[in-house]
A and B are shown apart, each in its own frame.
Chain A
Amino acid sequence: MSQPPGRRARRLVALSAFLLLMLPAAASAQATRTYVSGVGDDVNPCSRTAPCKTWAGAISKTAAGGEMNAIDSGGFGAVTVTKSITIDGNGHHSSILACGTNGVVVNSATAKVTVRDVAINGCRNAGSPGFNGIRAIAAKSLRVEDVRIMGFSIAGIALEPSNANARVRVHRTRVHDNGEYGILAKPATGGSLRTTLSRVRLDDNGNGVHANSANGASKVRIFDSTVTDSGTDGSTGYGLWSDGQTASIRAGDNRITGNVQGLFQANFGTLVSYGGNIVDDNDTDGIFTSSVARK
């Protein structure tokens, strides 16, 4: 306190410089598990005691193959993923508000990515909708579990891999209120795709599930799922839509109701029933192209 102000200032400058030097060192050490918090800060190391504020801020501090968790409820923002990573918001309301953009973009042909227990909101009813809730441009494997995706102008989940043999699994996930598609499974040129959906609830989307092989083979399996009320906003409103010679959708124990058309094929796309599907109360129900008996 008794020091002259000049020396105090000099010390402060020295301390600040020291801290600034330390920061990059702390940031560059990647942890296998990192944390975000509604009251965190992305200048932190994303540790349990010094959490970050966003997935995007945490991902650079997370080792490839690691996971990002949430300490408390918060909006953790959109993120682009280019390495193996798990985003797990379990235990809290972990949300991604993606007005005017994509929620989670996956872009690595070698990455295994998991998105779990988050809510991704495209703000479609708030005036400036985001494009896609989850978009895979390239992915070795993508797993989506217990996620809620709503309010995007294009698709809840857009699977458009440019790599061959991309595999996607979606479980216990709700996809609603998206302008064009609940789930779009349409590989880009050079890509092919295998998608498994179980216990997924798709409603109020422009179309429910669209497998399209225009650029590469697309195979979709769907079980124990609900595809309902597609096209209530004036879109074509197909529940399950298989388009192209190497596009197939195989379906068992689903409820396909209240769509403009329940089942729709174009360009020799196939739609195979495993039985147990309720296809009723659509403006037009449509038909499966074949069936496979149970054993």
Chain B
Amino acid sequence: MRKLLILTFLLLVALPATASAQATRTWVSGVGDDANPCSRTAPCKTWAGAQPKTATGGEINAIDTGGFGTITITKSLTLDGNGTQATTTACGTQGVLVNAPTNAKVALRDFRINGCRDSANPGLNGVRVLSAGVVRIDNLRVYGFSNAGFALEPSHLKARVMIQDTSIHDNGAYGIFARPSTGGNLRTSVVNTSIDDNGNGILSSSAYGPSKVRVFDSVISESAQSTFVGFGLWSAGADSSVRVGDSRIVGNLKGLHQSDSGTMLSYGGNIVDDNNVDGTFTGSVLRK
């Protein structure tokens, strides 16, 4: 009996040590518990609960379907819900806030972020980027926020955001809001992404710092279902450029819009039609 007690005691002492060691890969599960070490056999319940148990540069994976909550990311980190339905529900708040070192690499992959816009208490932004070297978005679905699906507002130089294979819909003001804060500049690429039913599709604004956006193989449609101006692509400011190839810009209040000397270049292959006003590109670049 005494031996058993000693053994139990030893195990209890050992447990916190296990929990505090950070793993390169951790796990969340719909039936997990954030008191766990977030291992494959003892998973956590939320992204936020798993972050401190994940090494910088590591990744958090999902074992099974679940709602894994909102998170503020503060270091290089990958959230990867691949293989199951992983969700972040963000009623009344932000889904994922990225506020990491300016050289950090953050990736969000294969999950959905719901702002509950059709409920009484919508969230503000699906993903908001304040600081990170590279933010990589793959296969996300971001919908139902009152402001923007993606609000990209870095205040440091050389911030980059890549959005691929993603659906952005039903957000009140913007699908993608790319406007660096004072002292920042930003390069955003959007590939194979559908952006519809948002107040505006994509805004690139250089009001506080240079913003460059590339768009390929994407659909931007039905902007301005609410009271917003309803521009599909909107380039605002002399240091703002939007470059577009092989995309479909249809059914918006206005397809292409520039203000304050913003530029918008076509690589060709774009369908700009059936908008209340189609608008024009400011220039084009030939293919090679």
Contact = CB atoms under 8 A, between A and B. Distances in A.
Interface stretch (B77-85, B172-180, B228-236, B271-279): B77-85
A126 B55 contact: yes
Contacts, number: 98
B40 A203 contact: no
Interface residues of A, number: 44
A174 B191 CA distance: 13
Give the dominant DSSP class at B's interface: strand
Given A125-B105, A177-B105, A273-B288, A258 B187 contact: yes
B80 A119 contact: yes
Contacts of B162: 203, 229
A61 interface: no
A71 B114 CA distance: 29
Interface in B208-230: 212, 214, 216
A124 B107 CA distance: 13
B21 interface: no
Contact of B57 (A95, A124, A287): A124
Contacts of B285: 278, 280
A119 B109 CA distance: 12
A278 B56 CA distance: 36
Contacts of B58: 123, 126
B160 A229 contact: yes
B82 A123 contact: no
Interface stretch (B59-67, B116-124, B254-262): B59-67
Interface in A125-170: 125-127, 151
Contacts of B251: none
B63 A72 contact: yes
B37 interface: no
Nearest to A37: B40
Contacts of B61: 73, 93, 95
A111 interface: no
B24 A126 contact: yes
Given A127-B57, A174-B138, A255-B216, 16 more contacts: A73-B63, A93-B61, A93-B80, A125-B104, A126-B24, A126-B57, A176-B136, A203-B162, A226-B216, A229-B189, A255-B245, A257-B243, A258-B187, A275-B287, A277-B287, A287-B288
